[in-house]
Amino acid sequence: RRPRQSPDRARRNRRSIARTMCDDPKWGPDEQFGAPEVTLHTSHGPVTLELYYKHAPKTCQNFFELAKRGYYDDVVFHRVIKDFMIQGGDPTGTGRGGESVFGGKFEDEISKGLRHVGAGILVMANSGPNTNKSQFFITLAPTPWLDGKHAIFGRVSSGMSVVRAIGAVKVDKNDRPLKEVKILRCECDDKGFSWY
């Protein structure tokens, strides 16, 4: 059995890790505070998403700009499948709507280095290859059958308990929550630099 760290030592280690991340050569001079983030303030609580802007720059631009413009405010999670995913991003709430920040559909940014290996992965929803608009989902479990078919563009960095709570709500036969689960508003943090 692995021994537990004391709270003081754990805090020191976290500070050390934070410093290491900031000093990591993968971050440029203007990126010392890490990757851009979007926090979804939902009816169940906040969920902070770290964006993989180096792997999927256009997809991250689309999501970040839509969130910044208030496009996702008061939008429901219209599809929830237990042990699979929660899906939102459609202002019509039907699962058939939504537009990208570019005005139409845009191409998939599939990175071989990113796979659907667990819960908390931020992914674009689509209706086939290169049909990305505004809809997205967050995984609740590994979904390897989606590898190569959907663009992964981020991960939950904080608020996974909220994601799990949303993933456990009661739904109807069409996987729609019986009681509305909403994104109330979004908070965007570009970390002081622009990648687009």
Query: Hey, what are 137's tokens?
Result: 């989902």
Q: Is 87 a catalytic residue?
A: yes
Could you tell me if 72 and 40 are in contact, meaning their C-beta atoms sit under 8 angstroms apart?
Answer: yes
Q: How many CB atoms lie within 10 A of CB 176?
A: 17
- Distance CA(138)–CA(118), nearest Å, equals 10
Catalytic residue check, 19: no
Starting at the earlier edge strand, list the strands of the sheet with 79-81. Answer: 75-76, 182-189, 37-42, 45-51, 152-158, 121-124, 136-139, 85-88, 79-81
Catalytic residue among 63, 77, 137, 153: 137
Q: Is 146 a residue of the active site?
A: yes
Active-site entry in 44, 55, 78, 79: 79
Q: Of residues 32, 84, 115, 164, which has the active-site annotation?
A: 84
> Does the active-site annotation cover 150?
yes
The residue from 33, 115, 126, 176 that is catalytic is 126
Q: How far, in Å, CA of 34 to CA of 189, rounded?
A: 10
Is 135 part of the annotated catalytic residue set? no
Strands 37-42, 182-189: pairing kind: antiparallel
Catalytic residue among 33, 146, 184, 185: 146
Residue of 41, 44, 116, 150 with catalytic role: 150
77 in catalytic set = no
Q: Is 13 one of the annotated active-site residues of the chain? A: no
Which of 61, 62, 87, 135 is labelled catalytic? 87
Which active-site residues does the annotation give? 79, 84, 87, 126, 137, 146, 150
